[in-house]
Amino acid sequence: MYRLAILEDDSTQLDLLDKIIQKTKYGSEIETARFSNAAELEQSLLDGASFDIALVDIRLADTASNENIEPVETGIDVVHKLFVATNTQVIYVTGYDMYHSDVYKTPHVFFLLKPVTAERMTQALEAALLQLKNISEKPLRLRVGQDEVVIEPHTIRYVESHRRQLHIHTVNGELVTYLRLDTLENMLPSSFVRCHKSYLANLDYVARYRVNELELNDGSIIPVSQSRRATVRDWFFDHVRGTR
């Protein structure tokens, strides 16, 4: 199951975009989360949520009714703040064609002009899902000591952050690098879950799920923090069912 965030300040448009997504051939594969403002979306991310795709309205909560006055913060600003340097695939949507060049200030896979049709939404989702597939197969290049090492993401069992170092536990042994855990998390496919502020676990190697820990198939025990239990539970069972 893919997770898609919709950021749209107009409640009618929010409902409509959600319904259009569900009408596409990908509707059964996508779980949507709806946000009416940027603060709600940011808080969701801080609480541990992550999204494969973000459908972002460019013109948010104007401070004036005059459509010629720019909003204080646009959807482009939000994407720059929350999704640049992540694997989240951004689809912009707007009713104003004047933004078609501004969207290139940030990475994105598609630009939708309202009114949005199911056909155009399908094309946008296809572009996002194709990019996600390419990312999941892309090897990582990391600095380990004086060497640059290439790692296939599927070989990583789990990652631990300890004293500004990342200990990457793979099927071939352990590698140590200086990198933020947040940075590495954004480079990895959706089989990886942030189960603790200091741990990332690859669900492909989880043999047993418990409320407060994950047991991997090599016997390793990975803690699950209380604040992330619901997210980890949902990701684990989606993974087992093959819907993620």
pLDDT score of 87: 84
Task: Write out the chain's pLDDT in tens, 244 residues.
Answer: 788 999 999 999 999 999 999 999 999 889 999 999 999 999 999 887 889 999 999 998 753 344 554 556 899 999 999 998 788 999 999 988 777 777 888 889 999 999 999 999 999 999 999 888 877 778 899 999 999 999 999 999 999 999 889 999 999 999 999 998 988 887 888 789 999 999 999 999 999 999 999 999 999 999 999 999 988 998 888 777 665 5
% of the chain residues with pLDDT over 70: 92
Compute how many other C-beta atoms are within 10 angstroms of the C-beta atom of residue 114: 15
pLDDT score of 10: 94
Is the dihedral angle over the CA atoms 193, 195, 196, 200 positive or is it negative? negative
Q: How far apart are CA 121 and CA 50, in angstroms?
A: 21
Cβ-contact 216, 157 below 8 angstroms: yes
- Structure tokens given for 148: 């640059």
> Each residue of 63-95: pLDDT tens digit?
334 455 455 689 999 999 999 878 899 999 998
Is the dihedral angle over the CA atoms 204, 209, 214, 219 positive or is it negative? negative
Domain with CATH 2.40.50.1020 in the chain: 140-241
**Superfamily in which the 140-241 domain is placed by CATH:** LytTr DNA-binding domain (2.40.50.1020)
Q: How far apart are CA 229 and CA 213, in angstroms?
A: 9
> Each residue of 41-68: pLDDT tens digit?
999 998 878 899 999 999 987 533 445 5
Question: In the chain, which ranges are continuous DSSP H helix?
Answer: 11-23, 38-46, 75-82, 118-136, 181-185, 229-241
Domain 2-136 CATH class label: alpha beta
Q: How far apart are CA 160 and CA 137, in angstroms?
A: 22
Own/partner pairs for 184-187, CB < 8 Å, 24+ apart?
184/159, 186/85, 186/86, 186/87, 187/87, 187/140
Domain with CATH 3.40.50.2300 in the chain: 2-136
